[in-house]
Amino acid sequence: MHELSLMDSVVETVVEELGSQRIAVVRLEIGELSGVAVDALRFCFEVCTRGTVLADTALDIVMIPARARCRSCGGEHATSSLMAACVCGSFDRELICGDELRLKEVEVV
């Protein structure tokens, strides 16, 4: 499962970098169009932190709305899919944000 290997590396990174401290919250930024299932991520976080120093740590997920820039008219708009057309009718768009999947920060107790 994609989410499991992803969460596994997040947990591993946090434990390696900050494992000697008590961590209250691990915060991830997830783009709307990243294709990751948030429910699955939460479940995997519990699985991956079990028995580690992060066992009592909360997972906070911040959703990042997707925005696309149109190569035809230069307009920038919120979007729920790159398969949708720009207001000008063009499908030639690129994602500016909304596909991120990153460890944003951790809160140390």
Binding site for Zn ion (CB under 5 A): 70, 72-73, 75, 86, 88, 90
Strands ordered across the beta sheet of 76-78:
76-78, 67-70, 93-97
| Min CB(90)–Zn ion separation in Å | 5
Of 13 and 81, which has the nearer Cβ to Zn ion? Answer: 81
> Residue 39 or 94: which CB sits closer to Zn ion?
94
The smaller minimum CB distance to Zn ion, of residues 57 and 79, is found at 79
Give backbone dihedrals phi and psi of 93, rounded to 5 degrees, phi first. -125, 155
Least distance to Zn ion, CB of residue 68, Å: 9
The smaller minimum CB distance to Zn ion, of residues 10 and 86, is found at 86
Q: In the bound complex, what is the minimum distance in angstroms from residue 92's beta carbon to Zn ion?
A: 8
For residue 53, which of 28, 24, 90 has the smallest C-alpha distance?
Answer: 24
Return the H-helix or E-strand segment holding 77. Answer: strand 76-78
Sheet strands (E) in 15-71? 23-31, 58-64, 67-70
